[in-house]
């Protein structure tokens, strides 16, 4: 029997397919924008120039300084470029770092955003912005940072390195896992979550074997869209709190951190959310969800230990202290000793334990 629930669909326009980047000028016109600043990371500056050529006279240039965790000083620098160019719209081409910068600019100026994701992070579908200042990462949730339009172009993901493909995809799966046991979960989001996990879990190993497999790339991007929609619609729990703590305080890579932590967070919550974890297991095609997530990370060649991402063992205690400070809602109470043990296992790369 279906009980009472609340579902709020988010007002983002989605354009999905192969070759859809060519529709960017039309999408800019729909927003009635006059000057467009293209945002990228330094690594994707060349791709940003391609977008400038596509936009023609609409383009106000490229800002290619986006970095992980949206540091306040980078946002200030980008603001100067935005205002100096007189731009009323940004096109964020890239992953969570670039899309996060676009959101930070929108929060401060109200500019329209068109996100063109080239990874599977899912940030483009959320009204959530995480920013880092003085070594601490904080999040804000407001429709003011939700992109107006998202263009998913499968062709742009064909060159995504296999390593980043795996960790970015598991990062997306994390959104769906937590959506299944979210405090405000609902049947619609749960359907999207299970389908998103299934699509990504099926596609990622195929991409590792054949990176140019367009069909697998399309299924992965479809799964990422679903998982990102879950993240944007319901609240997250312990896993995301841990990853924000670790990423912001220890400057760990975002997707890789999610990949390491997810099996352990799922194991922590498995007894408190058995139906949710059973649905995760079904979507993965395994008997045990935390073990299946750990094995999926291994199958795509991802690192499975925080120590391998550059975190010192001395940081375990600090991370535990930060994780229990202002904790997110979680189906299982957040216990400092148990969280410390979880982080220690994730640091060492041990298999998850449902303690």
Q: What is the pLDDT of residue 165?
A: 96
Q: In the chain, which segments carry CATH 3.40.50.1970?
A: 13-157
pTM for this entry = 0.92
Q: What is the pLDDT of residue 1?
A: 66
How long a stretch of residues is the chain? 355
pLDDT, tens digit only, all 355 positions of the chain: 677 888 888 999 999 999 999 999 999 999 999 999 999 999 999 999 999 999 999 999 999 999 988 999 999 999 999 999 999 999 999 999 999 999 999 999 999 999 999 999 889 999 999 898 887 888 899 999 999 999 999 999 999 999 999 999 999 999 999 999 999 999 999 999 999 999 999 999 999 999 999 999 999 999 999 999 999 999 999 999 999 899 888 999 989 999 999 999 999 999 999 999 999 999 999 999 999 999 999 999 999 999 999 999 999 999 999 999 988 899 999 999 999 999 999 999 999 998 7
Q: Tell me how crowded residue 55 is: count the other CB atoms within 10 A of its CB.
A: 19
The three-class DSSP label of residue 108 is: helix
CA-to-CA dists, residue 42 to 49, 63, 80, 142, angstroms? 12, 9, 18, 28
Half-sphere exposure of 49 (CA within 13 A, CB side): 4
Q: How far apart are CA 258 and CA 239, in angstroms?
A: 8
Q: What is the pLDDT of residue 9?
A: 87
Question: What angle is formed at CA 234 by the lines to CA 119 and CA 166, rounded to 5 degrees?
Answer: 25
Q: What is the pLDDT of residue 182?
A: 97
Burial 138-159 (b: 16+ CB within 10 A, else e): eeeeeeebbbbbbbbbbebbee
Structure letter (DSSP) for residue 237: -
Q: In the chain, which segments carry CATH 1.20.1090.10?
A: 162-348
Q: How far apart are CA 100 and CA 260, in angstroms?
A: 22
Q: How far apart are CA 146 and CA 138, in angstroms?
A: 17
CATH 3.40.50.1970 fits 13-157, yes or no: yes
Q: How far apart are CA 338 and CA 148, in angstroms?
A: 41
Edge-first strand order for the sheet with 149-153 is 13-17, 149-153, 112-117, 89-94, 36-39, 59-63
Of the candidates 326, 174, 203, the one whose C-alpha atom is nearest the C-alpha of residue 261 is 174
CATH 3.90.1560.10 fits 162-348, yes or no: no
Question: Which residues make beta-bridge pairs with 116?
Answer: 93
Q: How far apart are CA 223 and CA 105, in angstroms?
A: 27
**Token pair for 244:** 């924000």
């Amino acid at each position: 029997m279906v009980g009472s629930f609340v579902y709020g669909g988010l007002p983002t326009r989605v354009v999905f397919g192969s070759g859809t980047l060519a529709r960017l000028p039309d999408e800019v016109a729909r927003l009635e924008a006059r000057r467009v600043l293209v945002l990228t990371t330094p690594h994707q500056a060349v791709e940003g120039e391609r977008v400038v050529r596509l936009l023609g006279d609409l383009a106000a240039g490229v800002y290619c300084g986006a970095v992980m965790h949206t540091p306040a000083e980078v946002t200030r620098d980008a603001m100067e470029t935005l205002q100096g160019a007189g731009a009323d719209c940004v096109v964020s081409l890239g992953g969570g770092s670039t899309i996060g910068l676009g959101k930070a600019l929108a929060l401060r100026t109200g500019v329209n955003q068109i996100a063109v994701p080239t990874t599977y992070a899912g940030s483009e579908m959320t009204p959530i912005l995480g920013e880092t200042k003085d070594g601490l990462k904080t999040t804000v949730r407001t429709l003011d940072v939700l992109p107006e339009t998202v263009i998913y172009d499968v062709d742009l993901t064909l060159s995504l390195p296999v390593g980043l493909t795996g960790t970015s995809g598991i990062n997306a799966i994390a959104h769906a896992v937590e959506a299944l046991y979210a405090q405000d979960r609902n049947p619609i989001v749960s359907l999207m979550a299970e389908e998103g996990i299934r699509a990504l879990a099926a596609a990622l190993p195929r991409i590792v074997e054949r990176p140019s497999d367009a069909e697998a790339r399309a299924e992965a991007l479809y799964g990422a869209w679903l998982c990102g929609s879950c993240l944007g619609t319901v609240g997250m729990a312990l896993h995301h709190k841990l990853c924000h703590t670790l990423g912001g305080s220890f400057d760990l890579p975002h997707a890789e951190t999610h990949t390491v932590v997810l099996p352990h967070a799922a194991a922590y919550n498995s007894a408190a959310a058995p139906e949710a974890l059973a649905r995760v297991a079904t979507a993965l095609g395994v008997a045990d969800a935390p073990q299946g997530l750990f094995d999926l990370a291994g199958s795509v060649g991802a690192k499975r230990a925080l120590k391998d991402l550059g975190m010192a063992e001395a940081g375990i205690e600090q991370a535990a202290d930060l994780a229990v400070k202002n904790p997110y809602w979680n189906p299982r109470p957040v216990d400092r000793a148990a969280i410390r043990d979880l982080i220690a296992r994730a640091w060492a790369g041990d298999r998850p334990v449902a303690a």
